[in-house]
Every structure is written in structure tokens, then in C-alpha cells.
Amino acid sequence: MRRKPSHSDSDNIASRYSRLVDFTQSPRKLSIMARIIIAGSCLLAVVLLFARYSSSQQTTKLRTVAVLKDQGGGSGVWGTIHLEQDISQPNGQPSSPVHIYGDINGLKSTGVHAFHIHKFGDITNGCQSAGDHWNPRAHEHGAPEDVVRHDGDLGNINADRSGKAQIDLRDNILTLVGPQSIIGRSVVVHEKADDLGRGGTADSKKTGSAGGRLACGVIGWLKE
């Protein structure tokens, strides 16, 4: 049988209600609860903002390649050059220098050779139709570390005794995205060393007096 409510039950309910009313009317207790709620809300907001920031900072690596050949010049020089860059998402802006690496073979033993990016990806007339150095800022020729330089000025590469040059460099001026992207342009290795614009002649300020073009290749998307 169900027990009939007693006076003591009513007293207990009244007592609990009285304590609840007393708690909600206490400024100190309300202040503590408010602080807990605010702190929890702030922590949740920070976590959500961090998650959103982390997802917005994801990067994509763009990978391109240039296969260098002598293009009928008879030099016998050949090689493969990779060019890569990290791109932030979703804004599509570069987040790293362009990483340039690879090797070139068939060079003169222990030779020093100029290494540049040229304006055009046109090799219909061999490497000559690749045009001048890539120079969208209309600067004089210089060294890779110079503030004033062609964007395509990458200095020199050094061949070992077997005539092979291994390349591994990073450049903060070049880019693989935007209106100044080098995709579709050419990588060229030259006959002579680049004097880095220090030769004291007009040609030095234009080409580094690097001589003929031994091999070249068009920069294109790498198949994943």
C-alpha cells in the first residue's frame, strides 16, 4: 500500500524549496555560479576558435618539375629539377620559399655554371627562345641573396668530377602562384659561371656574362 504523505514530508519539501529560494537570492552564490558559467563559456569559445584557426591554416604543397635537355645544341647536358612550395589554405598564399632540388648531368668536370629561370616556356628554337631572365620587377642582374636582382637569378651550380651537379636551394623571391608564378617558364643552365652582376660590364648587369645555354626545360605540373 502507498504511504500517505505525512506532515514530515511536507516539511522536507518546504525546507528544500526554502533553501533553493535562499540560494538564488544570495548575491555571493549567484556571483560564484556566474563566474563558473562565464569561465566555461570562455573556455569553449577558445577551443572553438583554436579549432577554426587550425583548420584555416592547412597547407597544400605545389609540386612542379622541369626536365632539362640540350635541345639540339649538342652539349649532352641533361637533368631533372623539382620546384615545390607550400600554399596556405583557404587563402591560396605562399607559406614557404620555393624549394628547388635535383641534379644536372653531362657538365664539364668540376665546372661552375650559371643557373637561371628564364621568361618563356618556349623551346621551339632550342633554349634561345626561352627569352631573357625572368625579371618582372625590371631590376638589374644580381646574386640570389641580393635585394636588387632578377627574380630568376639563382646563381651558380658546381659540377663534381663526373660532371654532375646536385642542386638543393630555397628562394624567397620566386613563387609558384599568382601573376608572377614561374610555372610555364624555363629553367636554363649556362656554359659559364655567373659573375653575379659584379663584372663591371653592361652584359654583367644583364646576364652575368654566363655565356651560351647548355640545356633547358619548361616548368610544368608534376603528376602525383
- Catalytic residue (one of 70, 113, 141, 171): 141
- Catalytic residue (one of 150, 171, 185, 195): 150
Kind plus residue range of the DSSP H or E element containing 204 = helix 202-207
To the query of whether residue 133 is one of the catalytic residues in this protein, the response is yes
Place of cell 626561352: 130
Spatial distance between the Cα atoms of 202 and 38, rounded to a whole number of angstroms: 70
Q: Which residues make Cβ contacts (< 8 Å) with residue 50, sequence separation at least 6?
A: none
C-alpha cell at 2: 502507498
DSSP, residue by residue, 11-70: HHHHHHHHHHHHHHT-HHHHHHHHHHHHHHHHHHHHHHHHHHHHHHT-EEEEEEEEEEB-
To the query of whether residue 118 is one of the catalytic residues in this protein, the response is yes
- Catalytic residue (one of 133, 149, 185, 195): 133
- Catalytic residue (one of 153, 171, 194, 195): 153
Spatial distance between the Cα atoms of 17 and 212, rounded to a whole number of angstroms: 96
CB 100 within 8 A of CB 109: no
- Catalytic residue (one of 116, 151, 171, 195): 116
Torsion of CA 66, 71, 74, 76, to 10 degrees: 20
- Catalytic residue (one of 70, 113, 118, 171): 118
To the query of whether residue 141 is one of the catalytic residues in this protein, the response is yes
- Catalytic residue (one of 113, 149, 185, 213): 213
To the query of whether residue 7 is one of the catalytic residues in this protein, the response is no
- Catalytic residue (one of 113, 149, 185, 190): 190
- What's the chain's Rg over C-alpha atoms? 34
* Active site residues per annotation: 116, 118, 133, 141, 150, 153, 190, 213
